[in-house]
A and B are shown apart, each in its own frame.
Chain A
Amino acid sequence: MLANWGYQDGSGGYFIVIDTDVCDGCGKCVEACPEAVLEVGEDPADPLRDDPVAFVTEEQRKKLKFTCSPCKTYLTAGGKEANAGSTGVAKASDRKNLPCVASCEKEAITHSW
């Protein structure tokens, strides 16, 4: 299942996508995130699933644009600084360097902005 956690408002759409078919609940993303955006536990979208899975905390789902902004403002891509700057939207090629995305060995996490 692809869980798109986040929101849309007048200024755009901001989603962190977790592929729960691939996520094994290892928790490395939780450690990598400097802002406690992610959590591992009972799957909020599947009450009959027994294994834990990663998801965005209820508190952060509505704030992602602002909470994730520091990580996006300065990204390093192969040693070069890639700045999401005033648009706040990181280039697709740079998003894999975000701490949470990079920490996931199964590549289960992506950012939509």
Chain B
Amino acid sequence: MTAHETARAETQQENRELWRWEESRWTNPDIDWKAGGIISAGIDVGSVSTQCVIMVDGELYAYGSLRSGSGGEDSALRGASRALEGTGMTVDDWHYCVGTGYGRVLVPMAKKAVTEIACHGRGANWMYGPSIRTILDMGGQDCKVLRVDERGKIVNFAMNDKCAAGAGRGMEVFCDFVGVPITEAGERSFQVDEEPRAVSTTCVIFAKSEAASLLREGWDVNSVLAAYSLATAQRVVELMQRVGLEPELGITGGIAKNRGVSERIEKEIGMKFNARTWHNPEYAEKEVPFDTQIAGAAGAALFAKALAEKQKGK
């Protein structure tokens, strides 16, 4: 490891704040949860971020999204607190909670853990509407492509959580190496005179060495970002082609916020992802922030409702 890399690693800890996607929360002012109805919750504990979605009879009541904490249980509790802020509701008022994501078995208040594959399918259907058929989701630690039917039931899927380069983590490591906050990487990758070729291997450890050579040869940082973003996009497209690209296309997860990769994917496949807007006109009218990262938790909350109804013998 060169002195350059050592210095960078040391400052990485201090600069963790730079790599944070915006945290968010929202409460539906028009629902009185005390008036009755099934209160279901979904908590999606990811390696990078955690979301909690609370629904009343399948309608969005509240949600919170924040950076994951020191462990699954800690993240779940903090996610729940964030979603519950200002609502007067507590975890005890929940009829059923489903945990999902990487840390799903660590959610203390969950009655069942459901894989993120099933939850994302349902959640994306809820957010984007019944016409959505192919969903790309990339989070901090994995990438998945799902084909769903009009109810959000999975008909085909592939998930990759083996390789950091195929997940947000690879992009985080690479951005850290070149010294650009991940929130700016997308924009900057387009501030180039000419779209460069992709880096020759997607392995982020090898890509870092290649990036160092390119920078030495005189490439500017934006072009290096572009080269890595293109390689990442090509890798994602391979996964998408394995599952098949049936319109309409939806995108969820942190990747939706990095247009450096998402737009390059659109270019490679010659198709566009649906605009990130609510299918349900009520949420659009109320200007509920369309946060693509809540898809998993939303699907979990919907499964929680279905399982609560099954329990009640409805």
Contacts and interface: CB of A to CB of B under 8 A. Distances in A.
Contacts of B206: 10
Q: Secondary structure of the B side of the interface?
A: mixed
Nearest to B235: A8
A10 B154 contact: no
Given A1-B156, A15-B242, A45-B154, A9 B163 contact: yes
Contacts of B306: 48
Given A7-B166, A47-B307, 14 more contacts: A2-B243, A3-B157, A4-B243, A8-B162, A9-B162, A9-B203, A10-B163, A13-B238, A44-B115, A45-B157, A47-B118, A48-B303, A62-B161, A112-B242
Given A4-B243, A8-B235, A13-B242, A45 B117 contact: yes
A62 to B, nearest CB: 4
Contacts of A15: 158, 242
Nearest to B115: A44
Nearest to B156: A2
Interface in B135-158: 153-158
Contacts of B163: 7-10
Contacts of B118: 45-47
Contacts of A46: 118, 153-154
Interface of A: 1-4, 6-10, 13, 15, 44-48, 61-62, 112
Nearest to B300: A47
By Cβ-Cβ distance, the 3 closest A-B pairs, closest first, are A7-B162, A4-B158, A10-B203
Contacts of B235: 8
Interface of B: 112, 114-115, 117-118, 153-163, 165-166, 201-203, 206, 235, 238-239, 242-243, 303, 306-307
A47 B161 contact: no
A46 B57 CA distance: 22
Contacts of B161: 7, 61-62
Contacts of A48: 303, 306
A109 B243 CA distance: 16
A1 B243 CA distance: 11
B154 A47 contact: no
Contacts of B156: 1-2, 4
Nearest to B163: A9
B153 A47 contact: no
B242 A7 contact: no
Nearest to B98: A47
A2 to B, nearest CB: 4
Contacts of A44: 115, 117
A13 B114 CA distance: 26
Contacts of A45: 115, 117-118, 154, 157
Given A1-B154, A45-B157, A47-B303, A8 B112 contact: no
